[in-house]
Amino acid sequence: MQEQLLHREVVFAGRLITVYRDDVVLSDGQRRVREIVHHPGAVAVLAVKGDGRVVLVRQYRHAIGRMSLELPAGTLEPGESPEVCARRELEEETGYRAGVLRELVRFAVSPGWTDEELVVFVAEELELSQPRPAADERLSVVELTTDEARLAIARGEISDAKSLIGLLGYFGWQLR
């Protein structure tokens, strides 16, 4: 059932993504065009404090035109492992360092059009350090109890996929 790549053309190459136009042959011989966005991969971190509160960030997201309450997250740097990226992003965005970091889940973000894989980690035994957000990041740290986080999901206040998958995975896939 695999598709055979006949030709790949770069349609756009930016700082973060590359867009390809692939000409492929399907398993039954038909030819089709696939538009693929290449992304280097990303991580999200569900930081859990000793008292059970979860650490989120609130930031404006231009693509959706509004503020978003999310897990701290970021894109892998060239050659960087997901774990190193998770530790870096957590500290940069929240000022917390993880004493313990474990992988919760990894998933294909939207395999119909992008190859991006996202890895969600749980960070525990947090130690407060100094946040160092990127020059273009304007965010605030928000700490919620697990009940408040569940309510924020139910109200649609937390609505991005990585945060929903991470939080619901951590909560055992239950809102209540």
Nearest Cα to Cα of residue 122 among 152, 167, 62: 167
Contact by Cβ (8 Å): 32, 26:
yes
Long-range CB contacts (< 8 A, 24+ apart) of 81-89? Answer: 82/41, 82/43, 82/106, 82/119, 82/121, 83/121, 85/42, 85/43, 86/43, 86/44, 86/45, 86/119, 86/121, 86/123, 89/43, 89/45
The DSSP element (H or E) to which 150 belongs, if any, is: helix 146-154
Contact by Cβ (8 Å): 86, 43:
yes
* Residues with active-site annotation: 137
Cα gap 137→86, rounded to integer Å = 17
